[in-house]
A and B are shown apart, each in its own frame.
Chain A
Amino acid sequence: MAVSTISSKERILRLFRGEEIDRVPCFSGMGNITTEGLNQLGYRFATVHLDAKKMAESAATTPKFFGFESAVVPFDLTVEAEALGCEINVYAHSEDILYPTIKEKIIHNEEEMEIEISKDLLQKGRIQLVKEAIKLLQEEIGGEYAVGTYVLGPFTLAGQIMELNELLKLSFKKPDKVGRLLDLLADVIVMVAKEYESAGVDYITVREMGATSDVLSPRVFKSLILPYLQKVFRELKGNTVLHICGKTNDIVGFMMESGTKAISVDQKNDISETRKKLGRDALIFGNYDPYNVLVRGDTELVRSTIGRCIEEGVSAVWPGCDIWPTVPPENMKAMMDEITNYGG
């Protein structure tokens, strides 16, 4: 085993630049805080979404404790929707880990689809709070580790602000109308993502899991989803990842055509197939099951799964979704140990 001479951050940045690296990085573009980290800080999960300092501190614990190679903020999927006027619920009463959700959507039916975007969108909700957390993270751990953030994709964001049943049916019945909404939301996403870029974030993941092939046909993905993802990625100049979970083997080609630098898929994707389809230079991140393997599995399963990911040809070992906070510390350690020993 060679002693690595580059930092995690440098390794990840080189990966995005397509340069040689000593081993496969192990990081994520989605939430990865742990109960272990929260307990050490003495923070309840429900409180870390509303305070930039707490958010950054919590996010920093995963690299600090386990050597995981990135820290990511925020932790929930409601930031853009909240800025657009949705009321959110952070489950302040709960001692359990419940992620914030949308309490009230702003579009209930077809008639309400013509929305306008406020000029001071970036001052609304928690966008500035997340931006501040990114800056704090860069100051605190940014020398050593990569700092990431995420936004939703246009369709997934539409699903947050609009009744999902209606959105799905209209995607079929009135694709033009849905297209206009997605076009507008693509602008919103670009604005938010650029704001995060200006805070010095190292990479941004666009989470478009609403358009998984478990829900939408590859045909609809191509005609209705892809054009607006392309619009988003055309505008973003930094490092980008497009994440879609669930069934994705039939759409990985389209995912790459979106203009993203890298794609992220979950355990339902056959990575060997995807690698064959996209070629050896494509950046494919994935694809261990963050719950059934990392939380519920033993260290043996964690090690064998990470080994499988590397063998099948991922460019970075990366979870299929947010890392569920109750992950046992020994499993995090086993993962990182497997990577540093056998990731080369």
Chain B
Amino acid sequence: MLTEEKKREILDRLKNGVIQYDEDAVREAAQEAVEFGMDANEAIFEGLVSGMEEVGRLFEEQEYFVPELLMCADALYAGLDILKPHVKKMDLGVKGSVVIGTVEGDVHDIGKNIVKMMFDVAGFTVYDLGRDVPLDKFVEEQLRTDSDLVCLSAMMTTTMVGMQKVIEKLKQKNPDVKIMIGGAPVSKELADKWGADGYAPDANNALKEAINMISSLRKMRQEAEANRIEGR
């Protein structure tokens, strides 16, 4: 039986497993969560995401660097793969599909993958175009999938300028689409100038932005849950 105590224990193991990049521990805890019939959303948000929030803090404080971050992400995915099939659809008013990729000329995709991870967690449908993606491909894919969000990433100044063109074309074809840009050379000023809706200049900020987004989802979930209980 899933006692409150057992639930707490599983959530702690999920959380700590992510922080300590222990894929096996996370896998085991996720498996147990499923066996005990725990709410998969709760396991994801209160366990895995809560761990990732702590990782974000450690990264910001320079306790953790990119290698650790990548290993934590692997641990998170190890849990997510097990829990996701058991997620009951959440109605949070977010439709949620996103086109994401690194622009042509740029083969760096770590920042992009971190942002993608948080979309995966949030239950978005993610159309990942990968790296070195020709500019027109972003526009085509957005139209094909009718996604509400497009995320463009560039690690190098030398490729960043391509983003401006994609933003123009996307806005022309679909004024409602939201566009996020990210990567080392990106600044708030450039994002504003080019008409992007959001930006994240580095992995740290990308992670922070993504966690912020997921944290607000988490809050919405908790509120929805509280309302449900009250309404009973």
Assess whether A91 is in contact with B105, with CB atoms less than 8 Å apart: yes
Q: What 1/0 flags go to A319-340 for Cβ under 8 Å of B?
A: 0011010000000000000000
B24-32, B66-74, B77-85, B121-129 - interface stretch: B66-74
B68 touches A98 (CB 8 A): no
Is the pair A165, B162 in contact by a Cβ cutoff of 8 Å?
Answer: no
Interchain CB contact under 8 A, B67 and A102: no
Chain B residues, Cβ within 8 Å of A214: 66, 184, 202-203
User: Which residues of A163-182 have CB atoms within 8 Å of chain B's CB atoms?
Assistant: 164-165, 168-169, 171-173
B67 contacts across to A, CB distance below 8 A: 168-169, 171-172, 216, 220
Instruction: Say whether A139 faces chain B, with CB atoms less than 8 Å apart.
Output: no
Q: How many residues of A contact B (CB 8 A)?
A: 29
Q: Does A97 contact B (CB under 8 A)?
A: yes
Q: Decide if A101 touches B66 in the complex (CB within 8 Å).
A: no
B106 near A101: Cβ-Cβ < 8 Å: yes
A318 to B67, CA, bound (A): 30
Chain B's closest residue to A170 (CB) is B67
Q: Which residue of B lies closest to A93 (CB)?
A: B134
CA distance A169 to B64 in the complex (A): 12
CA A292 to CA B184, docked complex, whole Å: 12
Answer whether residue B212 sits at the interface, using C-beta atoms and an 8 A cutoff. Answer: no
Q: Are A98 and B159 in contact (CB under 8 A)?
A: yes
Q: Interface size on B (CB < 8 Å)? A: 27
Q: Is the CB of B158 within 8 A of A164?
A: no
Bound complex: CA of A99 vs CA of B161, how far in Å?
Answer: 12
Closest A residue to B203 using CB positions: A214
Contact in complex: B65, A101 (CB < 8 Å): no
Residue of A nearest to B68 (CB): A172
CB distance B158 to A99 under 8 Å? yes
Complex contact A215–B108 (CB within 8 A): no
A19 at the interface (CB under 8 A from B): no
Contacts of A220 in B (CB 8 A): 65, 67
For the complex, would chain A's binding face be called helix, strand, loop or mixed by DSSP majority?
loop
Is B107's beta carbon under 8 Å from chain A? yes
- Beta-carbon contact of A322 and B158 below 8 Å: yes
Are A99 and B65 within 8 A (Cβ)?
no
* A215 B65 Cβ-Cβ under 8 A: yes
Q: Does A291 contact B (CB under 8 A)?
A: yes
CB <8 Å contact, B104 and A98: yes
Interface centre among A102, A169, A220 (most CB of B within 10 A): A169
Say whether B157 faces chain A, with CB atoms less than 8 Å apart: yes
Interface residues of B in 129-187 (CB under 8 A from A): 132, 156-159, 161-162, 184-185, 187
* Nearest Cβ on chain A to B184's Cβ, whole angstroms: 8
Q: Does B38 contact A (CB under 8 A)?
A: no
The CA of A171 and the CA of B70, in the complex, are separated in Å by 11
| B34 CB–A CB distance under 8 Å | no
Q: Tell me, in angstroms, the Cα distance from A213 to B203 when the chains sit together.
A: 12
- Chain A positions within 8 Å of B, measured between CB atoms, are 89, 91, 94, 96-99, 101-102, 164-165, 168-169, 171-173, 213-217, 220, 246, 290-292, 321-322, 324
Q: What are 6 A-B pairs at a CB distance below 8 A?
A: A96-B105, A99-B156, A102-B107, A168-B70, A216-B66, A246-B184
17 new A-B contacts, CB < 8 A, other than A98-B162, A291-B157, A291-B185, are A89-B132, A98-B105, A99-B158, A101-B105, A101-B106, A102-B107, A164-B108, A171-B67, A173-B71, A214-B184, A214-B202, A214-B203, A215-B66, A217-B65, A220-B65, A322-B158, A324-B157
